[in-house]
Amino acid sequence: MTTPAERAAFLRAEIERHNHAYYVLDAPTIPDAEYDKLFRELQELEAAHPELATPDSPTQRVGGAPLPAFRQVAHAVPMLSLNNAFTAEEAEAFDRRCREALGVDDVDYACEPKFDGLAITLRYEHGLFVLGATRGDGFTGEDVTQNLRTVRNIPLRLTGSDVPAQLEVRGEVLMPRREFEKLNERQRAAGEKEFVNPRNAAAGSLRQLDPKITAQRPLRFFAYGVADASVFHPALTLHSALMDRLASWGIPVAAERAVVRGAAGLLAYYEKIAAARRTLSYDIDGVVYKVNRLADQEKLGYVSRAPRFAIAHKFPAEEATTTVLAIEVQVGRTGALTPVARLAPVFVGGVTVTNATLHNEDEVRRKDVRVGDTVIVRRAGDVIPEVVAVVPEKRRPGSAEFRLPARCPVCGSAVEKPEDEAIARCTGGLYCPAQRKQALMHFASRRALDIEGLGEKLVDQLVDAGLVETAADLYRLDLATLAGLERMGEKSARNLLAAIEKSKQTTLARFIYALGIRNVGEATAKDLARHFGSLEALLAADEAALQAVPEVGPVVASSIVRFFAEPHNREVIAALRAAGVSWEEGTPAVPSRAPLAGKTFVLTGTLPTLTREEAKALIEAAGGKVAGSVSKKTDYVVAGAEAGAKLAKAQELGIAILDENGLRRLIAS
């Protein structure tokens, strides 16, 4: 029979084996649920037999009791820094210095990514992890052993052969980019402060006094060396072999290590890693070159606080600070409003940046970016520069919170922002110059008014030359004007004119679709045409009446109402009809559940918002009939201001009397 002690030892070994496969080798060996089962069994076993709990048990990774403060740790071997090279010439000069000092023609270098995390040191005694500390000032750091135990890919016990009695591993703790993004999503959802970048997130997580919090933070460790390589003398002579040895004991090292020869080798490695930078799961800020022979390293030694045998070749910084000169609002082709920060020019990611996107209003609010603020700007690869965060200490007094304008900065139409959407949009779709080209292309497209030959190039020309502003202007174009355009002969001009002319005869569904109302696609346009039968009825419909159309929900209804509420759009629609765009008016389809089916209405007086025509269309669309005079057959009289004889008659006959609101309520019921 297995004793609890044997079972616990077995479970520990199993769990750590799976941990290593998952976190170090990136190759999971069992499903999460099974891993969790093993883990729980071990936890229960240790709870029942406290004497079995060991410091290298994987259960220690979930974090123990909070500390009052971190203990100071003196580093037996100081944690130094590296000199930097920023250019190819500086990297070549490093190689030259090494060759000259060693008196050789060629030097082999071990190359590694430069991890953009926090330097730490891990002490192992007889293979057991006993102490972990931060770099601090290089001579004294802080004891963060408890927290480091929770970092899943740090081995709590080294495995494999020839594990030395004493070993101090040096490396960096960092947070993978994807995990960083997920953490920030969680922070946002919980209403907590977000982290600026993975490095800060890793630093904040490592310096938590409550290790339970650290345990929930997805930290990773990579080793880049040892405190004292002489303990391996004479078995190991190369830094690269030393790293392989660390890996053999279960210590995570970068997969992107390489040994190269000479300056050309260094620069080729730099280029290769720079190109692969985005594909790594974690941030790096350059590469590190190290003379590979340990004996040569010793010969080269140190100058002040940095080794002569190694150098960091840095990538151009992806983050920099600058000030916000203004926040402008741009309107995109689809009417989306995007706040953009105008910045004092700053060199970042290898170029000078003067603008950075702020994405949308919510984002500006969340980051609370204000004019005059000092901000951190990021430009990673070819990505559009963005404002990452404000430096709050540098905010000047009297600055005001950013607000998106209520009117489109380009055309003055109302701006809409549905409650559960992040993007605010201009509602002047048919009219707004920013949306002009897109609106025209859509209007002329095959499933809309189908104007053959009116493609993107032509729309560009027409708009850029100021010949066309809205779709209605298309119907004013003449042969001479068109024939005068670039790449446009008289024949094509005639063809285009004919196509424009032909488009005048259309259907209501196509016309509705052609307007380019947000959320109204071809199918919805057809539903609307069928339901309302006429444009007047559609124009008069409020949200409730629109939602009576099957498939039309609150979002679509609201888009439609806002679109037609914009006077600019109505003007363009009127101009289109005046230009001769027409269709056969259908009779509205009366759905069986039509709210006014079988009811007869009489209209009298002036209604507050609806014209007589619109009210009639609305009633008919809801299945009702409109009669001219009041009789016993009348079900409702809809009365507005200055209603006269008809109202009196209705009162006399005891017929129900409604105002406009009453009518709308009835339709919506």
Catalytic residue numbers, as ranges: 114
Give the list of residues 6+ apart from residue 370 with CB closer than 8 angstroms, or none.
Answer: 324, 327, 390, 395, 399, 400, 401, 402
Pair type for strands 72-74 and 302-303:
unpaired
Residue 226 CB, nearest distance to ligand IVH (Å)?
Answer: 10
Which of 82, 375 has the CB closer to ligand IVH?
Answer: 82
Give CA–CA dist 124/228, Å, rounded: 13
Q: Give the residue with the Cβ less far from ligand IVH, 195 or 289.
A: 289
Task: Return the number of the residue (62 or 229) whose C-beta is nearest ligand IVH.
Answer: 229
Query: How many CA atoms within 13 Å lie on the side-chain side of 461?
Result: 13
Cβ atoms of 472 and 575 within 8 Å: the answer is: yes
A 10 A CB-CB count for 298 gives 13
Using the contact rule CB under 6 A, the part of the chain among 76-84, 152-160, 568-576, 643-651 near ligand IVH is: 76-84
- Site membership for ligand IVH, residue 80 (CB under 6 A): yes
DSSP state of 77: S
In the complex with ligand IVH, which residue's Cβ is closer, 143 or 450?
143
416 binds ligand IVH (CB under 6 A): no
Q: Is the dihedral of CA 539, 543, 549, 551 positive or negative?
A: positive
| Residue 180 interacting with ligand IVH (CB under 6 A) | no
Compare residues 113 and 588 and give the one whose CB is closer to ligand IVH.
113
Of 227, 238, 288, 364, the one binding ligand IVH by CB under 6 A: 288
Tell me: does residue 199 bind ligand IVH (CB under 6 A).
no
With binding defined as CB under 6 A, does residue 81 bind ligand IVH? yes
CB within 8 Å of 100: residues ≥ 6 apart: none
Q: Which of 15, 73, 82, 238 binds ligand IVH (CB under 6 A)?
A: 82
Q: Could you tell me which stretch among 25-33, 36-44, 77-85, 619-627 binds ligand IVH (CB under 6 A)?
A: 77-85
**Is 307 near ligand IVH (CB under 6 A)?**
yes
Nearer residue to ligand IVH within complex by CB, 137 or 464: 137
- Least CB distance from residue 315 to ligand IVH, whole Å? 13
The residue behind tokens 């830094």 is 239
* Total of residues contacting ligand IVH (CB under 6 A): 14
Task: Quote the least distance from Cβ 141 to ligand IVH, whole Å.
Answer: 11
Q: Which single residue brings its beta carbon nearest to ligand IVH?
A: 119
Min dist. Cβ of residue 301 to ligand IVH (A) = 11
DSSP H or E segment with residue 660: helix 660-668
Residues in region 86-125 near ligand IVH by CB under 6 A: 112, 114-115, 119
Q: Give 293's DSSP letter.
A: B
Q: Which residue has the tokens 């970048």?
A: 197
Residues 145-164 that bind ligand IVH (CB under 6 A): none
The answer to whether 236 touches 87, Cβ cutoff 8 Å, is no
Nearest in space to 576 (alpha carbons), one of 382, 444, 389, 380? 444
Cβ neighbour number for residue 312 with a 10 Å cutoff: 18
Q: How far apart are CA 637 and CA 620, in angstroms?
A: 15
Binding of residue 132 to ligand IVH (CB under 6 A): no
Nearest by Cα to 113 from 245, 244, 276: 276
> Among residues 175 and 426, whose Cβ is nearest to ligand IVH?
175
Torsion angle, CA of 119/123/124/125, rounded to 10 degrees? 170
Q: Which residue ranges make up the site for ligand IVH (CB under 6 A)?
A: 80-82, 112, 114-115, 119, 172, 224-225, 288, 307, 310, 312
